[in-house]
């Protein structure tokens, strides 16, 4: 059996890679996991009740694009949060979490050619893994754009050569970003959408951490689009309930954007996708309509930001996360630090380079970083962060 070569450069996913690194090494204390971005605060209390009421929905094929109630709830939330006026029928599609949509959007939206050449897909570097998979499937050029301390942790797409921008079809960008916790300002979004309009590419804006922040809500790409008056087809926004509502297992996300783009995504999904089960759509509709549980959740994250600032504030190079729930801590070498954290204190953290690829100059961003997920309840996290500081910085 011969497997396709197009994925041969794809490394193991980050978690098996860490297992390989740590296998055979004994933890120095009771193991404590800070790798996966899986929220461990309680899920909203209405979930079980709605699932029970709607259980009959499992006997029917669900709607590909999402029920009217769900799409209306999402449009309502986008309106309240960003002042965006989106048509629930033509501008929103429900997804099984945002990850599948981030991947499938590339298949649905990347043309075979751009400006008569092989199209390019741009991604920040470091990045969230789903941004990188469409390009090898499509035979497009995947171009990594550094998002490091030097660039303010966000990619500087505007500094790219004209030749590359002309053949750019899609640009992935996350805000708040994983792994850095950086927030794109309104100016950043406006400039990026302006660039998209000038060069005819589509921005795929991953905003799944948008509700996990300190005090000020991160601006969204839809807000910038309205201000700048850019063509709605230049933008598709992704979000989900995984982080906002502590429901990563529900697999309930959405994409929203220009009518043509969403129509392309619906078409592909109708032929080969898996719609979100009806009862789950009902829970999701309720969750997007409720902010009380989201505010309660944010209060808990605020305590964690304070805790992290207090514990790591004196560490040279510590960049307090603006939003999201990851710490992106400076170390000499990420793999060495992950081994020391495990062997010294039983703490599992991820080497930063696992979220990056070597760029054209041979630089691997994230080598001097580790990613630490602050998802555990604050009382459990406190001790773990103190142990982490001791093992990494004392
Ligand atoms: C940056 C980013 N985007 C998207 C996702 C996908 O989340 P979901 O598919 O649960 O919506 C994640 C999950 O960790 C993420 O970190």
pLDDT of residue 390: 97
Average pLDDT of 126-139?
A: 95
Residue whose CB lies within 8 A of the most ligand 1 atoms, among 97, 252, 280, 371, for a mutation test? 97
Task: Give the three-state DSSP class for 341.
Answer: helix
- C-alpha 21 to ligand 1 mean position (Å): 24
Average pLDDT of 69-85?
A: 97
Pairing mode of beta strands 369-373, 326-330: antiparallel
For the cut 90, the answer to whether the pLDDT of residue 394 exceeds it is: no
pLDDT of residue 225: 97
- Nearest of 250, 240, 244 to residue 276 by alpha carbon: 250
- Nearest of 351, 356, 297 to residue 325 by alpha carbon: 297
**HSE-CB for 272 with a 13 A CA cutoff:** 8
Q: Is 332 exposed, middle or buried (0-12, 13-18, 19+ CB in 10 A)?
A: exposed
pLDDT of residue 3: 82
Over residues 285-330, the pLDDT tens digits come to 999 999 999 999 999 999 999 999 999 999 999 999 999 999 999 9
Over residues 209-227, the pLDDT tens digits come to 999 999 999 999 999 999 9
Average pLDDT of 101-112?
A: 97
Give the whole-angstrom CA distance, residue 125 versus residue 147.
Answer: 5
- Residue 338 in contact with residue 35, Cβ under 8 Å? no
Percent above pLDDT 90 for the chain:
94
Which residues, judged by CB distance below 6 Å to any ligand atom, belong to the binding site of ligand 1? 37, 97-99, 128, 174, 178, 206, 208, 240, 242, 248, 253
Q: How many CB atoms lie within 10 A of CB 40?
A: 16
pLDDT band per the 50, 70, 90 thresholds, residue 110: very high
Q: Which pTM value belongs to this model?
A: 0.97
Whole-number average pLDDT of the chain: 96
Percent above pLDDT 70 for the chain:
100
- C-alpha 179 to ligand 1 mean position (Å): 11
For the cut 80, the answer to whether the pLDDT of residue 361 exceeds it is: no
- Return the structure tokens found at 189: 């979004």
- C-alpha 238 to ligand 1 mean position (Å): 9
For residue 102, give the ligand 1 atom closest to its CA: 4
Average pLDDT of 357-372?
A: 90
pLDDT of residue 121: 98
Over residues 184-200, the pLDDT tens digits come to 999 999 999 999 999 99
Residue whose CB lies within 8 A of the most ligand 1 atoms, among 208, 251, 372, for a mutation test? 208
Hey, whose CA ends up nearest to atom 14 of ligand 1? 37
- C-alpha 97 to ligand 1 mean position (Å): 7
For the cut 90, the answer to whether the pLDDT of residue 2 exceeds it is: no
Over residues 24-50, the pLDDT tens digits come to 999 999 999 999 999 999 999 999 999
Over residues 152-178, the pLDDT tens digits come to 999 999 999 999 999 999 999 999 999
Residue whose CB lies within 8 A of the most ligand 1 atoms, among 13, 243, 246, 273, for a mutation test? 243
- C-alpha 28 to ligand 1 mean position (Å): 31
- C-alpha 344 to ligand 1 mean position (Å): 30
Residue whose CB lies within 8 A of the most ligand 1 atoms, among 105, 178, 246, for a mutation test? 178
pLDDT band per the 50, 70, 90 thresholds, residue 279: very high
Please name every residue paired with 94 in a beta bridge, in sequence order, or none if there are none: 254
Hey, whose CA ends up nearest to atom 4 of ligand 1? 99
pLDDT of residue 173: 98
Higher pLDDT, 6 or 251: 251
């Amino acid at each position: 059996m011969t497997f396709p070569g197009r994925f041969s450069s794809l490394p193991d996913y980050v978690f098996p890679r860490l297992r390989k690194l740590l296998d055979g090494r004994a933890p120095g204390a009771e193991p404590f996991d800070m790798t996966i971005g899986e929220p461990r605060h309680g899920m909203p209390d209405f979930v079980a009740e709605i699932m029970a009421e709607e259980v009959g929905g499992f006997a029917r094929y669900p709607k590909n694009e999402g029920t009217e109630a769900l799409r209306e709830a999402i449009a309502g939330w986008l309106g309240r949060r960003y002042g965006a006026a989106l048509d629930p029928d033509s501008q929103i599609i429900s997804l099984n979490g945002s990850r599948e949509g981030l991947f499938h959007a590339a298949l649905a939206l990347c043309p075979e050619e751009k400006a008569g050449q092989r199209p390019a897909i741009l991604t920040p570097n470091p990045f969230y893994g789903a941004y990188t998979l469409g390009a090898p499937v499509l035979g497009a050029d995947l171009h990594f754009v550094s998002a490091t301390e030097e660039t303010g942790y966000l990619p500087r797409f505007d500094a790219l050569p004209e030749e590359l921008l002309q053949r750019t079809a899609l640009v992935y960008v996350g805000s708040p970003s994983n792994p850095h916790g950086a927030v794109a300002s309104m100016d950043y979004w406006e400039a990026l959408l302006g660039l998209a309009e000038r060069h005819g590419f589509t921005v795929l804006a991953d905003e799944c951490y948008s509700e996990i922040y300190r005090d000020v809500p991160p601006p969204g790409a839809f807000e910038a689009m309205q201000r700048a008056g850019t063509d709605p087809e230049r933008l598709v926004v992704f979000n989900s309930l995984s982080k906002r509502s502590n429901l990563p297992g529900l697999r309930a996300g959405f994409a929203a954007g220009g009518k043509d783009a969403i129509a392309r995504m619906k078409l592909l999904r109708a032929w080969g996708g898996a719609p979100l089960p009806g009862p789950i759509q009902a829970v999701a509709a309720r969750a997007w309509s409720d902010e009380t549980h989201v505010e309660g959740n944010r209060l808990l994250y605020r305590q964690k930001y304070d805790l992290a600032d207090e514990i790591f504030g004196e560490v040279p190079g510590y960049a307090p996360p603006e939003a999201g729930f990851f710490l992106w801590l400076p170390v000499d070498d990420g793999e060495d630090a992950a081994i020391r954290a495990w062997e010294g204190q039983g703490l599992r953290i991820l080497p930063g380079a696992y979220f990056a690829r070597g760029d054209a100059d041979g630089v691997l961003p994230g080598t001097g970083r580790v990613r630490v997920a602050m998802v555990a309840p604050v009382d459990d996290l406190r001790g773990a962060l103190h142990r982490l500081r001791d093992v990494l910085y004392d």
